[in-house]
């Protein structure tokens, strides 16, 4: 526990006491040190390690904890260019909000009690809301904040009611104890309503297609830090919550999951088709997240060993690749002041090295073998095929459309003849190449040993 608390406390203090000249260097260095120390959690695979009576780490939470710590430094690096021009007080407040958001996310993944997890799960909404409404670039940011607030609260009230009912019935909400407890809640109309209430908040957070409208708005209006954290770690809270909540349910609920699994697979297909019709670069990447998370929802609800392993790998790889895509979109936006694809075409001629990062990120996003996305998707598709042969049709079409929109994104933003306004843009900085390397290199290293995420 001290690995988390002491460095994060030091970072929060450093945000306010470090001199203006060295603020970004000190905070970024500290966050990189935390990321390196967090890699020791890879050692925790089979057993559960208790850090205190209320916090523990196991094989499901450790990769997500490492991902959260790892993405803090790139988030600060990506924000530096725009924020360094603002008053010092706003810079300090911005960094403080980012660290608080990552801290609450870490505590949510560490929580060994479902009520404590619920409190931390909801606490992440407050810094996210502040980031979007205070540092968003456009006037629609208030509407995006309202969407985020009401969608999240709608699902959360149902989850809180379900958790209180479970505690009243069984007397505990400890995740470690619930693993040993055989749930006596069997299928009936009230128990199905309870099951829906348990999952609703997580399905909104993922998000499931149909309750996803807040996500594209939040991504488009959020600053780069908001988009990176939202895609990298906050969406994973939903998948993690489904895996934890499934401990409270016995196997009789699997037949209730069938309509939801089929609907989430259709959501994968529909959101992939929608990606091909987007003109805004950030909106396209946001809809691609909805498509990938649909697969994670279906896999998490199946509750087989392969499906859970596949959902974990896909969540980690999506967190890195999607965050890298948002960073690339931000580098284009900072120079050209537009995210419209037709106005960005031809960038490859002017920024060839950035185009190489684009190509790597796009190929990983479309699950090119042997990328971690491919390993995760193949594992999920295999488990879904074992569950029902019919899923092969939907998932096969989903893979085709995923490839289509990924290549469309790369071609529209990098190829063709560049418009005249792009020919006088400043070159890409070393800081931005380091930022992208911090996303892509770990993804490549995971290819060598994907068993770390199982």
Contact (CB, 8 A) for 209 and 270? yes
Q: What is the DSSP letter of 338?
A: -
Separation between Cα atoms, residue 220 and residue 340, nearest integer Å: 12
Mean pLDDT of 133-153: 86
Q: Using one digit for the tens of pLDDT, what is the confidence trace for 383-406? A: 999 988 888 899 999 999 999 999
Query: Band of the pLDDT at 323, cuts 50, 70, 90?
Result: very high
As a residue count, the chain comes to 454
Query: Residue 128 in contact with residue 147, Cβ under 8 Å?
Result: no
C-alpha 162: how far from its chain's center? 25
| Residue 169 Cα distances to 245, 248, 252, 253, 453, angstroms | 15, 12, 18, 18, 34
Contact 358, 328 (CB under 8 A): yes
List the structure tokens of 353.
């090295």
Give me 22's structure tokens: 């060295």
pLDDT, tens digit, 9 for 90 and up, residues 50-102? 777 788 888 888 889 999 999 999 999 988 888 888 888 998 999 999 999 99
Residues 193-251: tens digit of each pLDDT: 888 888 888 999 888 988 888 988 888 888 888 889 988 888 899 999 998 888 777 77
For 128-158, b where at least 16 C-beta lie within 10 A, e where not — what string? bbbbbbebbeeeebeebbebbbebbeebbeb
What pLDDT digit, counting tens, does each position of 254-310 carry?
778 888 999 999 999 999 999 888 888 889 999 999 999 999 999 998 888 888 999
Q: Round to whole Å and give the CA distance between 38 and 5.
A: 12
């Amino acid at each position: 526990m001290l690995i988390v608390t002491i460095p994060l406390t030091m970072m929060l203090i450093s945000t306010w006491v470090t001199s203006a000249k060295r603020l970004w260097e000190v905070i970024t260095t500290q966050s990189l040190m935390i990321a390196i120390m967090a890699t020791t959690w890879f050692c925790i695979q089979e057993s559960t390690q208790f850090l205190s009576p209320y916090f523990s780490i196991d094989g499901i939470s450790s990769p997500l904890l490492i991902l959260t710590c790892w993405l803090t430094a790139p988030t600060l690096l990506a924000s530096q260019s725009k924020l360094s021009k603002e008053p010092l007080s706003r810079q300090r407040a911005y960094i403080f909000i980012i660290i608080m958001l990552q801290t609450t996310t870490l505590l949510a993944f560490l929580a060994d009690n479902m009520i404590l997890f619920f409190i931390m799960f909801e606490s992440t909404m407050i810094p996210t809301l502040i980031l979007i409404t205070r540092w968003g670039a456009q006037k629609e940011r208030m509407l995006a904040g309202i969407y985020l607030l009401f969608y999240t609260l709608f699902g959360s009230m149902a989850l809180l009611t379900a958790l209180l009912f479970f505690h009243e019935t069984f007397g505990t909400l400890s995740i470690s104890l619930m693993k040993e407890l055989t749930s006596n809640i069997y299928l009936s109309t009230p128990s199905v309503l309870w099951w829906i209430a348990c999952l609703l908040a997580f399905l909104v957070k993922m998000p499931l297609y149909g309750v996803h409208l807040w996500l594209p708005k939040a991504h488009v209006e959020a600053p780069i830090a908001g988009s990176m954290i939202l895609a990298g770690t906050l969406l994973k809270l939903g998948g993690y919550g489904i895996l934890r909540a499934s401990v409270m349910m016995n196997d009789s609920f699997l037949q209730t999951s069938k309509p939801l699994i089929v609907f989430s697979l259709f959501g994968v297909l529909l959101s992939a088709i929608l990606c091909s019709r987007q003109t805004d670069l950030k909106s396209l990447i946001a809809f691609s997240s909805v498509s990938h998370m649909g697969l994670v929802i279906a896999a998490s609800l199946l509750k087989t060993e392969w499906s859970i392993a596949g959902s974990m790998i896909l969540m980690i790889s999506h967190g890195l690749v999607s965050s890298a895509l948002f960073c690339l979109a931000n580098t284009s936006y900072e120079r050209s002041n537009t995210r419209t694809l037709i106005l960005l075409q031809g960038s490859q001629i002017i920024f060839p090295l950035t185009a190489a990062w684009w190509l790597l990120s796009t190929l990983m996003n479309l699950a090119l073998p042997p990328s971690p996305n491919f390993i995760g998707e193949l594992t999920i598709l295999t488990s879904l095929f074992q569950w029902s042969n019919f899923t092969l049709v939907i998932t096969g079409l989903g893979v085709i459309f995923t490839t289509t929109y990924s290549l469309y994104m790369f071609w529209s933003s990098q190829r063709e003849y560049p418009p005249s306004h792009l020919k006088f843009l400043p070159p890409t900085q070393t800081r931005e190449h380091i930022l992208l390397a911090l996303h892509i290199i770990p993804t490549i290293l995971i290819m060598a040993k994907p068993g770390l995420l199982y």
